[in-house]
């Protein structure tokens, strides 16, 4: 039964009896990211979903940071978090027209240059001729550019005409600014017949030589989309193990080198392995080593695990921070309950397709099963005061 708006208490039952809740926060360091401008795309692979764009401003970020930095756990006398890093985006960096001001705002709030994770706005790179040089000036040395296939395929995945041309122009502009590009390809059945053309395109653009001239190797790699967010709806495009034979050998090698692992295994083989494992909890995501919080433009708060309705911790304007953090620590949400109280072996036995040859890594497959469990249970559960099927 719900205890606060947006959350519910789930029975803590497991094979061995009543399970304890998720352990209290271990780290006194965290980060919060506000969706201050949104994203120009609605990519079909995006695990963050396709939320509406709505502007937030510096006062909104300062208010949220102050809430977290001033929060005192009941029974204590000093603020709990010793460090709260602020981020002005979590979908498309620098999509806001005042992106330079927001970069300075992050630096002022955090006391150091913002972490960019080698991500820039491809949309802005194609439209703002000064953007790449500014990015280089503030310390950017690499930029990851996602490619879903040749033009028609890529634009279909991004859901925006001209997105492929933007990606190519962005590649040229970061090179001109002294930033090394990296191409991330998503392995689906739609890209398979176009992989050779993409490798030829990289050669025609002389990306290997030009990137090497900037002091590094041109990295190009591919991997399958994780079955979360928007990507849940393109599971029908997941390749099989047999489809790997259609991937150029050089791309398999570069991908495995970049990822530090294989491109995956057949689902049926993983089911056989995971179904026989000794129950170990938590099952899928575990306790994030670098736990942070995503905050939407509507001030809904999610842990840095996922943004499906079953991860929602509360709302920063309607719930106290004590309630929101308590929702995580006491695994009050359906997602946290399943993650912490249902073993991977149980998920495999319930949802595993033993005859499937579809390509997964173990983490993505367990995420698929958790999604299936939560989606099934959510049909009859009120997560935010309304039935799930009524959510926009």
Mean pLDDT of the chain: 88
Backbone angles phi, psi at 322, to 5 degrees: -60, -40
Cα–Cα distance for residue pair 60/89, rounded to 1 Å: 12
* Percentage of residues in the chain having pLDDT higher than 70: 87
**pLDDT tier for residue 390 given thresholds of 50, 70 and 90:** very low
C-alpha separations of 248 from 29, 149, 167, 174, 226 in Å? 43, 14, 22, 27, 22
**Domain boundaries, given as residue ranges, for the chain:** 116-263
CA distance linking residue 252 with residue 380, whole number of Å: 44
CA separation, residue 261 to residues 47, 223, 295, 342 (Å): 21, 10, 32, 26
Evaluate if residue 11 carries a pLDDT over 80.
Answer: no
Average pLDDT over every residue of 120-146 = 97
**Mean pLDDT to the nearest integer, 353-372:** 95
Nearest CA to 326 out of 76, 86, 25, 34 is that of: 25
d(CA 61, CA 34): 7
DSSP count for the chain of H helices, then E strands:
14, 12
Q: Please give the Cα distance from 68 to 132 (Å, whole number).
A: 33
Per 3-state DSSP, what percentage of the chain is helix, strand, and coil (rounded to 5)?
Answer: 40, 15, 45
CA dist 95 and 147 (Å) reads 19
**Per residue in 178-224, pLDDT tens?**
999 999 999 999 999 999 999 999 999 999 999 999 999 999 999 99
Name the residue with tokens 């949400």. Answer: 333
pLDDT-above-90 percentage for the chain: 76
Instruction: Give the distance, in angstroms, between the CA of residue 57 and the centroid of all CA atoms in the same chain.
Output: 23
Please return the burial class of 187, using the count of CB atoms within 10 Å of its CB with bins 0-12, 13-18 and 19+.
Answer: buried
Q: In the structure, what pLDDT confidence band is assigned to residue 384 with cuts at 50, 70 and 90?
A: very low
Residue 309 and residue 276: Cα distance in Å, rounded?
A: 30
Residue 20 pLDDT greater than 60, yes or no: no
Q: Output the pLDDT for position 381.
A: 43
| 201 Rama class: left (phi>0) / alpha (psi -120 to 50) / beta | alpha
Q: Please say whether the beta carbons of 85 and 66 come within 8 A.
A: no
Residue 16: pLDDT band with limits 50, 70, 90: very low
Contact 62, 181 (CB under 8 A): no
């Amino acid at each position: 039964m719900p205890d606060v708006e947006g959350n519910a208490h789930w029975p803590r039952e497991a094979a061995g009896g009543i399970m304890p809740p998720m352990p209290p926060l271990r780290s006194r360091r965290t980060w919060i990211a506000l969706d201050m401008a949104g994203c120009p795309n609605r990519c079909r692979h995006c695990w963050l979903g396709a939320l509406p764009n709505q502007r937030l401003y510096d006062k909104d970020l300062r208010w949220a940071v102050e809430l977290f930095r001033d929060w005192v756990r009941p029974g204590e006398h000093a603020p709990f978090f010793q460090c709260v890093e602020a981020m002005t985006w979590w979908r498309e960096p620098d999509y806001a027209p005042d992106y330079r001001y927001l970069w300075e705002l992050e630096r002022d709030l955090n006391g150091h240059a913002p972490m960019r994770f080698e991500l820039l706005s491809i949309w802005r790179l194609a439209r703002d001729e000064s953007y790449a040089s500014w990015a280089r000036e503030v310390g950017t040395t690499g930029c990851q550019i996602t490619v879903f296939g040749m033009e028609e395929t890529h634009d279909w995945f991004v859901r925006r005409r001209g997105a492929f041309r933007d990606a190519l122009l962005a590649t040229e502009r970061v090179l001109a600014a002294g930033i090394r590009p990296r191409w991330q390809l998503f392995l689906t059945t739609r890209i398979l017949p176009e992989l050779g053309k993409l490798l030829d395109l990289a050669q025609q653009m002389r990306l290997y030589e030009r990137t090497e001239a900037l002091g590094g190797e041109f990295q190009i790699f591919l991997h399958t989309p994780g079955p979360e967010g928007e990507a849940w709806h393109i599971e029908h495009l997941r390749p099989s193990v047999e489809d790997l034979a259609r991937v150029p050998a050089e791309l398999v090698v570069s991908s495995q080198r970049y990822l530090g692992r294989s491109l995956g295994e057949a689902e049926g083989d993983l089911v056989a392995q995971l179904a026989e494992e000794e129950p170990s909890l938590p099952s899928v995501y575990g306790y994030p080593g670098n736990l942070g919080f995503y905050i939407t433009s509507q001030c809904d708060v999610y842990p840095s695990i996922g943004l499906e309705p079953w991860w929602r911790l509360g709302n920063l304007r309607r719930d106290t921070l004590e309630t929101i953090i308590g929702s995580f620590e006491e695994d009050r949400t359906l997602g946290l309950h399943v993650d912490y109280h249902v073993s991977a072996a149980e998920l495999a036995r319930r949802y595993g397709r033993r005859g499937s040859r579809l390509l997964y890594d173990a983490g993505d497959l367990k995420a698929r099963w958790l999604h299936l469990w939560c989606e099934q249970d959510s049909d009859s559960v009120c997560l935010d005061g309304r039935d799930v099927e009524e959510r926009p």
